[in-house]
Amino acid sequence: MIDKGALETLRNRAIVILKENDLGSSTKPAPHLYPHQWNWDSAFIAIGLSHFDEERAQKEILSLLRGQWSNGMLPHIVFNPHCVDYHPGPAFWDCSISPGSPKDVQTSGITQSPILTFAVCQVFENSKDKKRAMEFLNRVFPKLKEYHRFFFTHRDPKGEGLAHIIHPWESGLDNSPRWDEVLEHIKLKWTPKYKRVDTSIVPANQRPTDKEYDKYTYLVELFRKAKYNLDYIRDKSSFIIQPILFNCLMYASLRCLEQIGNTLGEDISEIKQWILKTDNAINTKLWDEDSGMYGDYDLANDRLIIKNTIANFSPLFAGLSSSRVAASMKRTLMSPTKYWPDNGYPLCSVSMSEPEFNLVRYWRGPVWVNTNWLMIKGLENYGYHREADNLTKKTIELVLKSGFYEYFNPYTGEGYGASNFSWSASLVIDLIELYSKNE
Ligand code: 2M8
């Protein structure tokens, strides 16, 4: 059992970090490395905020919604006008060339894994002032519905119930080995011109490689040339993927959108149809019976990508797997040769059994608090309370030992990437709440 005093100190420290990273109505993910507002970061951050400042949690979400495009898309970054040293910044994206971009805020031209509506539900559930929270729901519901409609209208042209992404940054798992082969196939028709800032803040061996950054930047240049026209991009680009994690978060968010609609007495028939379609598609198109694993569908090369990484287990979070498959996923997550190293810290972001597994490099092996949090919720969904408690405890112990880092070495617990990282702080607040309830 973790000492109560230590938990309280940790929670207070987490609150201080969120306050230090507060930009007023949004929170930057980290002091220097990420100086703007990020989409799924803000969703995770709002969940933590809702435990001690529900009004500020609502503000976080409203701030992100300011960036909504006319087609419903919520961008992956809403730029902070006071900060100039981030690549690629607003001038590089130059989203004003698209008639659909918002006029009064600067944003990136892509989206990110959609956990926002799930976060809105959590913020509502945790609120004490229900009258104010109902007003908040009323205000955000139409925007959230437009946001979800965007996926079905613009990211699912064949009406399969699965959204596709057009850039690794949209996944949130930027340099995951899941995309290696697809990126390898992208031949640069010109050399992208840019200067990296990230590697002057964090050691280069903890970040994506220059070769990967060339591809990331090249894709942004391609989108800019296409004036962010999604039909054109789908036609010209070879990075068009229906990821399991993205679609499971979308599904979980849709279930919450349905719940919000019910609470407000809104018509939810269209939302119900979206839910049904996505449920079927995840368990057919993204499931591989031979390997017993979920995967990502690579639309440009018409094949299922099977790689043993933490993303595969996201159907647990969405509650979309049968109990048989859930039991097998649980065993894999607990395996000391895959995700839960003996005498180390779970869960690796890439299985230790994969050749690409790396202890320090970003999304290629290190432990992340947000993916642990997703798995804890997923294990809970299937009644694996003991395992969920154990993972909660291990995650809190990791942060107690090393601090609120962005990611951690699964063998030693050493912290990497940015320190004082906002979602590590906010989700630890949520986990402490859970842990204290269960003890
Ligand atoms: C990382 O991604 C950004 C680009 O969007 C970067 O590397 O500069 C990812 O970990 C992503 O999931 C996260 O949202 C973002 C901010 O924390 O950083």
Ligand 1 mean position to 199 CA, how many Å? 14
Over residues 154-180, the pLDDT tens digits come to 999 999 999 999 999 999 999 999 999
Determine the pLDDT at residue 85.
Answer: 84
End-to-end, the C-alpha distance of the chain in Å comes to: 8
> How much is the average pLDDT of 268-279?
98
**What CA–CA distances, in Å, run from 352 to 140, 212, 230, 349?**
41, 22, 37, 9
Q: Is it the case that residue 262 has pLDDT exceeding 90?
A: yes
- What's the rounded Cα separation, in Å, for the pair 13 and 26? 19
- What's the rounded Cα separation, in Å, for the pair 415 and 67? 32
Ligand 1 mean position to 385 CA, how many Å? 31
DSSP 305: E
Would you place residue 191 in the very low, low, confident or very high pLDDT band (cuts 50, 70, 90)?
Answer: very high
Ligand 1 mean position to 134 CA, how many Å? 31
Ligand 1 mean position to 172 CA, how many Å? 6
Ligand 1 mean position to 152 CA, how many Å? 25
Query: Where is average pLDDT lowest: 76-90, 100-114, 254-268, 356-370?
Result: 76-90
Ligand 1, pocket-test mutation among 18, 37, 38, 171, most atoms within 8 A of CB: 38
274 lines ligand 1 (CB under 6 A): no
Q: Name the catalytic one among 160, 198, 387, 406.
A: 406
Q: Cα angle at 228 between 179 and 249, to 5 degrees? A: 50
Identify the CA nearest to 314 among candidates 261, 358, 278, 352.
278
Determine the pLDDT at residue 187.
Answer: 95
Would you place residue 79 in the very low, low, confident or very high pLDDT band (cuts 50, 70, 90)?
Answer: very high
Over residues 279-318, the pLDDT tens digits come to 999 999 999 999 999 999 999 999 999 999 999 999 999 9
> How much is the average pLDDT of 189-217?
97
Taking CA atoms only, the protein residue closest to ligand 1 atom 7 is 174
Determine the pLDDT at residue 439.
Answer: 81
Q: Is it the case that residue 84 has pLDDT exceeding 90?
A: no
The reply to whether 406 belongs to the active site is yes
Would you place residue 438 in the very low, low, confident or very high pLDDT band (cuts 50, 70, 90)?
Answer: confident
Q: Would you state the structure tokens that stand for residue 392, as one six-digit string?
A: 């909660």
Taking CA atoms only, the protein residue closest to ligand 1 atom 12 is 172
The reply to whether 180 belongs to the active site is no
> How much is the average pLDDT of 40-55?
99
Q: Cα angle at 143 between 276 and 44, to 5 degrees? A: 80
> How much is the average pLDDT of 110-135?
98
Q: Which atom of ligand 1 is nearest to the CA of 86?
A: 8
* Partners of 27 in beta bridges: 22
Would you place residue 408 in the very low, low, confident or very high pLDDT band (cuts 50, 70, 90)?
Answer: very high
40 lines ligand 1 (CB under 6 A): yes
Q: Name the catalytic one among 54, 156, 174, 298.
A: 174
How many other CB atoms are found less than 10 A from the CB of residue 120? Answer: 28
Determine the pLDDT at residue 77.
Answer: 98
